[in-house]
Structure 1
Amino acid sequence: MSKPASNAVLVRILDREYQVACPPEERNALQDAAKQLDQRMRDIRSGGHVIGLERIAVMAALNLSHELLQAKHQGAAAAMPDLTPLLNRIDKTLEQID
């Protein structure tokens, strides 16, 4: 296991490690997001209906996006931080899986 660059965070999702550039003040949020994504992907995989890492990642992303949109429609988004930059970073990292 290599040591991440000083502005990078090493996250583990479905037993794979990804190095993600991240400002120090967002490090904890990124790690929390990675843990949540890992758990969602594990839940989907254990359900047995979706096979393949890419499909599992897409299903997890769709589920999380749906929940975010529901929260926005319910007015809860005003109390939530803007997760767009973090979600964009996660998307870029998942694209590197292929």
Structure 2
Amino acid sequence: MSNSAIDITLLGRTYSIACPRGREEALRAVAKEVEQQLATLRTRTNNLSREELAIMAALNIGYELFEEKQKNKQYMAQMDERISLLQVTLESALVERTRKED
């Protein structure tokens, strides 16, 4: 899969970013989210430099990702428990059925 370059604008600066073909819209969506984070931070804290804004946005986005990963882990643990319970229930039903057939 080859890459193409797309332009994204963050805080008034345009960057040319290499992107795998077919993933351009995903990158644009991510860039839009980052720009929204940066704009929100800029309005709340007028005295931060461009670099400080970028760091704060990265930390906010990183925290959101961490929270989503934690939720995913919890969900997977719940699904593992439910699958185990279902397996036990099915095994019990099969054993009971076998006993009735004998």
Q: Decide: shared fold, TM above 0.5.
A: yes
Identity of aligned residues (%): 32
With structure 2 as the length reference, what TM-score do the two structures score? 0.65
With structure 1 as the length reference, what TM-score do the two structures score? 0.68
> Is 1:34 aligned to residue 28 of structure 2?
no
Distance 1:34 1:68 in 2: 15
Flag the structure with higher helix content: 2
Q: 5+ residue gaps in structure 2?
A: 76-102
2:18 aligns to what? 21
Identify the structure with bigger relative contact order (alpha carbons < 8 Å, sequence gap 6+): 1
4+ residue segments displaced more than 2 Å = none
Q: 5+ residue gaps in structure 1?
A: 1-5, 79-98
Root-mean-square deviation over aligned CA pairs: 1.8
Q: How many residues align?
A: 72
Q: Which has the larger radius of gyration?
A: 2
Which secondary structure state, in structure 1, belongs to the residue aligned with residue 22 of structure 2? helix
